Amino acid sequence: MATVIFSSELQKLTGEEQTSVKARIYKDIIAELITRYSSLEEENLMKMAIAIDGEIVHNPLLEVIDETSELHFLYRISGG
Amino acid sequence: MSEAREFKYIGQSTIRPDGYDKVTGRAAYGADLTLPGMIWGRILRSPHAHANILSIDTTKAEAHPDVLAVATYADFVELQSKSVAASEGAADVLDLARNCLADDKALYHGHAIAAIAARTERAAKDALSLIEVKYELLPPVMDVEDAMKDDAPVLHADMFTAGYEERPSKASNIAVRTEMKMGDIDAGFAEADVIIEREFRTPTAHQGYIEPHACTVRYDEDGQSMIWCSTQGHFDVRTSTAKVLGMDLGKLKVIASEIGGGFGGKTVVYLEPVALVLSKKSGRPVKMVMERDEVFIATGPTSAAKLRAKIGAKKDGTITACQGWMAYEAGAFKGSPMMPGVMTMFTPYECANVTVEGFDVVVNKSKSAAYRAPGAPQAEYAAEMVVNELAEALGMDPIDLRLKNAAKAGTQTIYGPKLKTVGLVECLEAAKNSPHYQSAIAEGNGRGIAAGFWFNIGGQSSVTVNMNPDGTGTIVEGSPDIGGSRASMQMMAAEVLGIAPSNLNPIIADTETLPYSASTGGSRTTFATGMAVIEASESVVAQVKQRAAAVWNVTAEQVDYADGVASNTAGDDKLTLAEVCKSAEQTGGQISGMANINARGAGPSFAVHICDVFVDQDTGKVDVIRYTAIQDAGKAIHPAYVEGQLQGGAVQGIGWALNEEYIFDENGVMENQGFLDYRIPLASDLPMIETIVVEVPNAFHPYGVRGVGETGIIPPLATVGWAVGKAIDRKVEELPCSPPRVLALIQNG
């Protein structure tokens, strides 16, 4: 199962440092997290970037997630 | 994934495709478009930093014979608070609209109150005085510390600090509080032998682009509209303007002009929605061009900040704990780059115990906008200064201390993921071995060292590569060229297609010609749009192989392609790219490659800078004697452009460290609204910035590219700040190191 590691900000909403999610596609991971943690909102998660095994990407809804993957939600940088 | 390889075209400093246009004056910038029947728009701006707007009477202005339209906030659609992509992070569309034209409050000196369109520019400017505005003055809040006090005048009655477990009951100027942490900070400091703790301040500073904001727009009777503007992101101009005016995206075409500098400051709309309203109301095309003072008072400088940095280490130099605190001024509306500051502050160092707390605070200044690695220069300035002081306290060379603790592949970051392969160690080693660092420090001079980190980003880019029947091609991309990216696109396409870059013409398409492309910023363009160019070019090669295979009656797998020539591996036949393109009509139609991607895997870029300064002890004037910028580019597609980015970032950072700041009077009115008194470095002020380009390839780009545009502005603040401190034997805790401030340090230290 993929491991989702929560930032210190998200830990305030989930009460946990990390969790495991059994889902093949990224959009299903989002759906599972929202179901599991009532304080998490889809809109807020979708505004964030996601690092999948260290590779940062924006909204990869159809991304196939490996069972051994590690996911981090992080603030979406735009730069200047 | 990139591997070490020899390139045919990549890595050369070719002639830039836009060079002739720019040096002859042919290049068309934001103010250069004139349309038949065009009229001129001007903005009435608040003379007050903080005031309720009691009434706006436009009757007399509308009665003026030369005035054809007047606009106020009431001309925008009714909006709800909602995020829209703009500048660093997501902006709030309601705030965006209220910044373009004030709603019921003037929130900074220069805030747009109303707009006029008239037959001539002079008439528009003169008619502004006919608009009668009644203000109720309010006390301005001009400083982040004052704004955070419990009894501070509140800018927004509906702003309650986000980021606390319980929503506060009292409105505040603190929009957001955030905290990131890892490990055990108390345990980390407990095991330290040396602890350094300092407080710092950085000023409001402007990007200083030479070209003011400008646009020419036309709203047609059927609602189909056009905007020509100077921007880093014309697709985002379309999005923002459409939202503010309630338009469909398909009704709005935006064309990006050539751009005379942006650096992040042109990722936001100011004039475009207003100009379009004036065009709609007058039935005429409208041009609006900011004057220089408007650029200073009414666009988006970067945040002033107050910061605290604390660092602990063992006697052997192992860093055991890092703690940061920062409060960033967002300007009149929420949304400073505080979060990137929190995320980057100590990222150059491997440390298990890190805590950083940050605050986003509104003040009565113009709304901050992105400026080259937004948020990072301020935060990393504070961190790098205490790292230098730590080295001094430990009796260690500052580069050796950094080498001992340098972030590398596998280092856990405070913002979540572990770093992949990065080049900080290589940059530090290059710095240590550089001629500059090996040279002796002249008597009386001071030397400073600092490192810098920036994430770089990927994101959406769209490209087509259209081949002509003679084998030349056009690269159609959607990324405004703010730093030479067209040359790099040309070279990356040439590398894939195996033809000379001069046979490929890169152009920036408008929003109707290509799908969405994200703004040029975040050091993304050579990386992300480059990936799209490569993919589109590879599609062309695939089509060429198919056409050749059809001609030779073989399969495409039996066709090789190299150096612009298709070869039949089952025979002796060969066809050049030009020959295949010439017969394209007969073999199935013209050949064109397309790529619409959401690029991922942007590689961070680290930098290390070295600076020697001399300080005149009688006047406090600082002269930069020697400056070296070392940075990891992954792979320098066009080395001269990469060096230019390193030099440009360094110069902007030096200006920020030495002289640039907004000066306000007691009423919150900016006093230095021009380049005479807002002192950016000139070529005559500085020595040649020496550059060393390090190349640690980014495995996620086909050629190893890392963005380079932003990191270079980060190290100078501490590099120069520390050097000045060494020269005068004082601790520099506030920037800029302007002569009066340095003199005060010398005299009062």
- φ, ψ for residue B322 (rounded to 5)? -135, 130
R_g of chain B, CA atoms, integer Å: 27
By C-alpha distance, the chain B residue nearest A79 is B522
Which of chain A's residues have a Cβ under 8 Å away from the Cβ of B418? 54
| Shared-domain flag, residues B652 and B740 | yes
- Beta carbons of A58 and B424 less than 8 angstroms apart: no
Q: Tell me, what's the pLDDT at B91?
A: 77
- Residues B54-67 have a mean pLDDT of 97
Q: Tell me, what's the pLDDT at B441?
A: 97
By C-alpha distance, the chain A residue nearest B376 is A79
ipTM: 0.95
The answer to whether the CB atoms of B371 and A80 lie below 8 A apart is: yes
Q: With pLDDT > 90 as the criterion, what percentage of chain B qualifies?
A: 95
The answer to whether the CB atoms of A8 and B267 lie below 8 A apart is: no
- The answer for residues whose C-beta is within 8 angstroms of residue B325's C-beta and 6 or more apart is B307, B308, B356, B357, B358
For B23-60, the pLDDT digits (tens) are 999 999 999 999 999 999 999 999 999 999 999 999 99
Nearest CB to A78; choose among B181, B415, B521: B521
In 10 A of CB B203, how many CB atoms? 22
Could you tell me the pLDDT band of residue B85, with boundaries at 50, 70 and 90?
A: low
Give a yes or no: residue B192 inside a domain.
no
Q: Is the pLDDT of residue B86 over 70?
A: no
Q: With pLDDT > 70 as the criterion, what percentage of chain B qualifies?
A: 98
Which of chain B's residues have a Cβ under 8 Å away from the Cβ of A51? 416-417
Could you tell me the pLDDT band of residue A9, with boundaries at 50, 70 and 90?
A: confident
The answer to whether the CB atoms of A47 and B90 lie below 8 A apart is: yes
What domains are defined for chain A? 2-74 (3.10.20.30)
| Shared-domain flag, residues B609 and B747 | yes
| Shared-domain flag, residues B589 and B687 | no
Q: Is the pLDDT of residue B743 over 80?
A: yes
The answer to whether the CB atoms of A80 and B265 lie below 8 A apart is: yes
User: How many interface pairs between A and B have CB atoms less than 8 angstroms apart?
Assistant: 107
The answer to whether the CB atoms of B457 and A77 lie below 8 A apart is: yes
Give a yes or no: residue B551 inside a domain.
yes
Nearest CB to A80; choose among B163, B373, B416: B373
Give a yes or no: residue B215 inside a domain.
no
Could you tell me the pLDDT band of residue B164, with boundaries at 50, 70 and 90?
A: confident
The answer to whether the CB atoms of A8 and B180 lie below 8 A apart is: yes
| Parallel/antiparallel/unpaired status of strands B286-289 and B39-45 | parallel
For B619-645, the pLDDT digits (tens) are 999 999 999 999 999 999 999 999 999
d(CA B477, CA B509): 6
| Shared-domain flag, residues B658 and B739 | yes
- Residues B146-159 have a mean pLDDT of 97
Q: Tell me, what's the pLDDT at A46?
A: 85
> Listing from the earlier edge strand, what are the strands of the sheet with B354-362?
B174-182, B354-362, B319-331, B305-313, B194-202
The encoded tokens of residue B660 equal 């640039």
The answer to whether the CB atoms of A80 and B370 lie below 8 A apart is: yes
Determine if residue B71 is left, alpha or beta; phi over 0 gives left, psi from -120 to 50 gives alpha, anything else beta.
beta
- Beta carbons of B87 and B370 less than 8 angstroms apart: yes
Which of chain A's residues have a Cβ under 8 Å away from the Cβ of B264? 79-80
Mutation for testing the A interface, residue in B88, B206, B415, B652 having most A CBs under 10 Å: B415
In the beta sheet, which residues pair with residue B507? B476
| Shared-domain flag, residues B649 and B685 | yes
Give a yes or no: residue B307 inside a domain.
no
Give a yes or no: residue B685 inside a domain.
yes
The answer to whether the CB atoms of A58 and B700 lie below 8 A apart is: no
Give a yes or no: residue B536 inside a domain.
yes
Q: Which of B599, B615, B643 is the last residue of a domain?
A: B599
Q: Tell me, what's the pLDDT at B90?
A: 60
Which of chain A's residues have a Cβ under 8 Å away from the Cβ of B82? none
| Shared-domain flag, residues B568 and B699 | no
By C-alpha distance, the chain B residue nearest A12 is B165
| Shared-domain flag, residues B610 and B747 | yes
- CATH label of the domain that carries residue B740: 3.30.365.10
In 10 A of CB B129, how many CB atoms? 10
> Nearest C-alpha of chain B: how many angstroms from A60?
8
| Shared-domain flag, residues B566 and B590 | yes
For B513-556, the pLDDT digits (tens) are 999 999 999 999 999 999 999 999 999 999 999 999 999 999 99
B78 versus A9: which is more confidently predicted?
Answer: B78
Give a yes or no: residue B272 inside a domain.
no
d(CA B149, CA B453): 32
Give a yes or no: residue B465 inside a domain.
yes
Which of chain B's residues have a Cβ under 8 Å away from the Cβ of A74? 343, 415-417
d(CA B412, CA B475): 39
- Among A31-45, B157-171, B352-366, top mean pLDDT goes to B352-366
Q: Tell me, what's the pLDDT at B4?
A: 59
| Shared-domain flag, residues B666 and B681 | yes
- Beta carbons of B342 and B322 less than 8 angstroms apart: no
| Shared-domain flag, residues B565 and B654 | no
> Listing from the earlier edge strand, what are the strands of the sheet with A2-5?
A18-21, A2-5, A70-74, A49-52, A55-58
Q: Is the pLDDT of residue A32 over 90?
A: yes
Interface of B with A in 477-496 (CB under 8 A): none
Nearest CB to A78; choose among B163, B370, B602: B370
Could you tell me the pLDDT band of residue B351, with boundaries at 50, 70 and 90?
A: very high
Predicted TM-score (pTM) of the model is 0.96
The answer to whether the CB atoms of A79 and B370 lie below 8 A apart is: yes
Could you tell me the pLDDT band of residue B381, with boundaries at 50, 70 and 90?
A: very high
The answer to whether the CB atoms of A80 and B87 lie below 8 A apart is: yes
Q: Is the pLDDT of residue B567 over 60?
A: yes
| Parallel/antiparallel/unpaired status of strands B90-92 and B83-85 | antiparallel
Q: With pLDDT > 70 as the criterion, what percentage of chain A qualifies?
A: 100
Q: Which of B599, B614, B642 is the last residue of a domain?
A: B599
**Total tally of structural domains belonging to chain B:** 2
| Shared-domain flag, residues B513 and B585 | yes
Q: Is the pLDDT of residue A21 over 60?
A: yes
Nearest CB to A47; choose among B83, B374, B419: B83
d(CA B67, CA B283): 12
Nearest CB to A78; choose among B165, B454, B522: B522
For B663-722, the pLDDT digits (tens) are 999 999 999 999 999 999 999 999 999 999 999 999 999 999 999 999 999 999 999 999
The answer to whether the CB atoms of A80 and B372 lie below 8 A apart is: yes
Q: Which of B546, B571, B599 is the last residue of a domain?
A: B599
| Shared-domain flag, residues B648 and B579 | no
- φ, ψ for residue B667 (rounded to 5)? -100, 5
Which of chain B's residues have a Cβ under 8 Å away from the Cβ of A56? 417, 455, 457-458, 600-602
Structural domain boundaries enclosing B513:
19-26+458-599
Per-residue buried b or exposed e for B696-705, using 16+ beta carbons within 10 Å of the residue's own CB: bbbebbbbbb
Mutation for testing the B interface, residue in A12, A56, A57 having most B CBs under 10 Å: A56
Residue whose tokens read 């505080």: B338
> Nearest C-alpha of chain B: how many angstroms from A28?
20
> Nearest C-alpha of chain A: how many angstroms from B70?
33
Residue whose tokens read 């606390």: B164
Mean pLDDT of chain B: 96
Could you tell me the pLDDT band of residue B1, with boundaries at 50, 70 and 90?
A: very low
> Nearest C-alpha of chain A: how many angstroms from B414?
8
Q: Tell me, what's the pLDDT at B223?
A: 86
